[in-house]
Amino acid sequence: MTVFPKIDVVTGTEIMNFDNAFLRNLPGDPEDRNFRRQVHRAGYSKVLPTPVRDPSLIAHSREMCQELGIPDATEWETAFAQVFAGNRLLPGMEPFAMCYGGHQFGNWAGQLGDGRAINLGETIGPRGDRWVLQLKGAGPTPYSRTADGLAVLRSSLREFICSEAMHHLGVPTTRALSLVSTGEQVMRDMFYDGNPRAEPGAIVCRVAPSFIRFGNFEIFTSRGDLETLRRLAEHTVRADFPHLVTQADRELDAEVYQRWFDEVCQATATMVVHWMRVGFVHGVMNTDNMSILGLTIDYGPYGWVEDYDPNWTPNTTDAHGRRYCFGNQPRIALWNLLQLANAIMPLVGNTEPLEASLQGFSQAFESGWQSMMASKLGLDHYQDSSDAGLIDGLLQFFSLTETDMTLFFRRLAEFETDTDAGDATRAPIPASLPEAFYHPDQIVGPVETSLVHWLGDYRLRVRATGVPDAVRRANMNRVNPIYVPRNYLAQLAIDEAEQGHPELTRQWLDVLRTPYTETVGWEKFAAKRPEWARDRAGCSMLSCSS
pTM of the model: 0.95
**Residue 208 to residue 21: CA distance in whole angstroms:** 14
pLDDT bucket at 426, cuts 50 / 70 / 90: low
Assess if residue 539 is contained within a domain. Answer: no
- Give yes or no for residue 543 having a pLDDT over 60: yes
102 belongs to a structural domain: yes
Rounded Cα gap, residues 411 and 39, in angstroms: 54
Domain count, the chain: 4
Residue 92 CB neighbour total at 10 angstroms: 18
Q: Does some domain include residue 207? A: yes
Please state, as a whole number, how many other Cβ atoms lie within 10 Å of the Cβ of residue 351. Answer: 12
Domain shared by 253 and 275, yes or no: yes
pLDDT band at 10 (very low <50, low <70, confident <90, very high): very low
The whole-angstrom separation of Cα 311 and Cα 321 is 10
On whether the CB atoms of residues 203 and 136 are closer than 8 A, the answer is: yes
> Stretch 172-186: mean pLDDT, rounded?
97
pLDDT band at 524 (very low <50, low <70, confident <90, very high): very high
DSSP designation for 437: B
**Residue 7 pLDDT > 60, yes or no?**
no
Question: CA-CA distance, 151 to 155, in Å (whole number)?
Answer: 7
Nearest to 484 by CA among 518, 509, 523, 515: 515
End residue of a domain, out of 463, 479, 495: 479
HEC-encoded secondary structure of 67-131: HHCCCCHHHHHHHHHHHCCCCEECCCCCCEEECCEEEECCEEEEECCCCCEEEEEEEECCCCCEE
In degrees, rounded to 5, the angle at the alpha carbon of residue 346 between the alpha carbons of residues 338 and 234 is 95
Assess whether pLDDT exceeds 60 at residue 59.
yes
Residue 406 falls within a domain, yes or no?
A: yes
313-341 pLDDT per residue, tens: 999 999 999 999 999 999 999 999 999 99
Task: Give yes or no: residues 449 and 319 share one domain.
Answer: no
Gap between the Cα atoms of 258 and 345, Å rounded? 10
- Who has greater pLDDT, 536 or 35? 35
Q: Which of 49, 37, 287, 252 is nearest to 150 (CA)?
A: 49
Containing 406, the helix (H) or strand (E) segment is: helix 405-412
Domain-located, residue 194 = yes
Q: For position 540, what pLDDT does the model report?
A: 73
| Domain-terminating residue out of 166, 188, 211 | 211
C-beta of residue 290 within 8 angstroms of C-beta of residue 343 = no
| Of 255 and 10, more confident | 255
Residues 236 and 118 in one domain: no
Q: Which helix (H) or strand (E) holds 494?
A: helix 487-498
Q: What is the pLDDT of residues 186-224, one digit of tens each?
A: 998 876 677 789 999 999 999 999 999 999 999 999 999
pLDDT of the residue at 60: 98
Q: 452 and 306 in one domain?
A: no
**Residue 118: CA count within 13 A, CB half-sphere:** 30
Residues 351, 470 share a domain: no
Residue 11 has pLDDT above 60, yes or no: no
Please give the biggest Cα pair distance in the chain. 79
Alpha-carbon Rg for the chain, nearest whole angstrom, is: 24
Residues paired with 96 in a beta bridge? 46, 119
The residue type at 169: L
- For residue 500, how many other CB atoms are within 10 A of its CB? 10
Q: Are residues 34 and 182 in the same domain?
A: yes
Whether 260 is covered by a domain: the verdict is: yes
* Predicted pLDDT at 538: 78
> In sequence order, what are the residues at sequence separation of 6 or more whose Cβ sits closer than 8 angstroms to the Cβ of residue 88?
1, 2, 3, 4, 79, 82
Pairing of strands 175-188, 197-208: antiparallel
| pLDDT value of position 350 | 93
* 2-6, 22-26, 250-254: least confident range: 2-6
Q: Is the pLDDT of residue 99 over 80?
A: yes
What would the DSSP string read from start to end of 158-205? HHHHHHHHHHHHT--B-EEEEEEEEEEEEEE-TTSSS--EEEEEEEEE
Sorting pLDDT into bands at 50, 70 and 90, what band is 51?
very high
Distance separating alpha carbons of residues 411 and 131, to the nearest angstrom: 39
DSSP label at residue 176: E
Query: Which amino acid is it at 317?
Result: T
Annotated active-site positions, please?
288
List all residues 6 or more positions away from 516 whose beta carbon is below 8 Å from its beta carbon: 477, 478, 479, 480, 481, 482
Neighbours of 381 (CB within 10 A): 10
Of 324, 351, 376, which closes a domain? Answer: 376
Mean pLDDT (the chain, rounded): 93
CA dihedral angle for residue 378, residue 382, residue 388, residue 389, rounded to 10 degrees:
-50
Q: How many CB atoms lie within 10 A of CB 396?
A: 11
List, as own/partner pairs, every contact residues 517-526 make where C-beta atoms lie below 8 angstroms and the sequence separation is at least 24, other chains included: 517/482, 518/410, 518/477, 518/482, 522/483, 525/483, 525/489, 526/406, 526/407, 526/482, 526/483
Same-domain status, 472 and 491: no
Structural domain includes residue 456: yes
Q: Can you name the residues that pair with 186 across neighbouring β-strands?
A: 199
Does residue 544 belong to any structural domain of this protein?
A: no
Identify whether the C-beta of residue 171 lies closer than 8 Å to the C-beta of residue 190.
Answer: no
Report the C-alpha gap between 221 and 207 in whole angstroms: 27
Q: Looking at the structure, tell me whether residues 441 and 301 fall in a common domain.
A: no
CA distance 504 to 490: 10
Asked whether the beta carbons of 205 and 90 are under 8 A apart, the reply is no
Same domain (yes/no): 408, 528: no
**85 and 175 inside one domain:** yes
The Cα 219–Cα 22 span in angstroms is 17
Expressed as residue numbers, the domain containing 450 is 384-479
Q: Are residues 371 and 317 located together in one domain of the fold?
A: yes
Asked if residue 108 and residue 56 are part of one domain, the reply reads yes
The C-alpha angle with vertex 286 and arms to 281 and 288, in degrees rounded to 5, equals: 120
Strands 2-3 and 88-89: parallel
